[in-house]
Structures are given as C-alpha cells and as structure tokens.
C-alpha cells in the first residue's frame, strides 16, 4: 500500500495560496490610497525606522511570491534531497511526505509573515502608529523554528 500524506497537507497548501492571494489583493486595493511616503523597514521592536516611496509596498507580495514559488518547486522535486538508498518504498514515501508537509507549513508561515508585514505597513502609512508590535520578530522566529524542530524530532524518533 503506497504512502498517502495526511489531509492537513492539502489544508496547509490551500491556506498558503489563499494568504498569498489575499496579500496581493490587499496591497493592490490599498495602493491607490497610500501616501507617497510609507514605512519601508521596521526595527526589532517593530517600529518603523526607514521610509520610502509607496511603490516599495509591492516588494512584500513579490518577495513572498518568490519564496512561495521556490518552495513549491522544491515540493515537486523531493528526490533531490539526499536520503539513503536502503529505505523501503513505503519508508521513503513517509520521509518524502514528511519533508513535503514541512515545506508546506513553512510556505504558509512565510505567506502569513509577509501578509502581516504588508497589512501593518499599510496601516501605519494610513496613520496607525502601532507598527508591527514588539512580538512580531520573536513569534515569526518561533513559528519558523517550531515546525523544523518537530520534523527533526519525528524523523529521529522513527529511526
């Protein structure tokens, strides 16, 4: 019986695409109403510390799309990853499936982070002084590391 990835993988994939599309939509709808100068960088405390042209807001969904696309392409090429040739087809399927689920989770996290950055940048440009919030950076780092740690722990546990 071939390995079948869990259903939550489809949910992760769909959610990632939905967040990416929503980010693009929000940025494009908001663009016309932005002032000419907007925040372009935030410090570790989440406060804007650099400003530039409003066209810079387009870079957030562009970067998110590039990251999302690259990770999606890697999903289609899991055999590029070096796994031992001694794995049974079922075990290899499980390992590759785990890698694909990890990549899907990371894609969603990146899409959410860039979507939040775009949202907060636009809100600040419209006069909301709250910035990203001091918890953005630690939460983003934690959300990026936790799935990797869970994946590695699961991989080591099943050895």
Mark the ranges of the chain whose per-residue pLDDT is less than 70.
Answer: 1-5, 78-93, 158-159
Query: pTM here?
Result: 0.85
Following CA atoms 100, 103, 108, 114 in sequence, which dihedral angle do they give, to the nearest 10 degrees?
-160
Question: Measured between alpha carbons, how far is 76 from 55 in angstroms, rounded to an integer?
Answer: 33
């Amino acid at each position: 019986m071939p390995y079948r990835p869990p259903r939550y993988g489809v949910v992760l994939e769909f959610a990632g695409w939905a967040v990416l599309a929503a980010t693009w939509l929000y940025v494009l709808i908001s663009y016309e109403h932005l002032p000419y100068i907007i925040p372009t960088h935030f410090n570790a405390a989440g406060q804007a510390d650099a400003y530039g042209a409003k066209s810079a807001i387009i870079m957030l969904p562009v970067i998110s799309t590039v990251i999302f696309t690259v990770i999606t392409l890697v999903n289609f090429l899991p055999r590029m990853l070096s796994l031992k040739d001694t794995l049974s087809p079922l075990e290899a399927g499980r390992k590759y499936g785990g890698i694909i689920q990890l990549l899907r989770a990371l894609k969603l996290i990146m899409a959410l982070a860039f979507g939040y950055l775009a949202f907060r940048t636009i809100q600040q440009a419209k006069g909301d002084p709250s910035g990203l919030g001091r918890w953005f950076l630690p939460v983003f780092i934690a959300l990026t590391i936790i799935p990797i740690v869970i994946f590695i722990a699961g991989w080591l546990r099943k050895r």
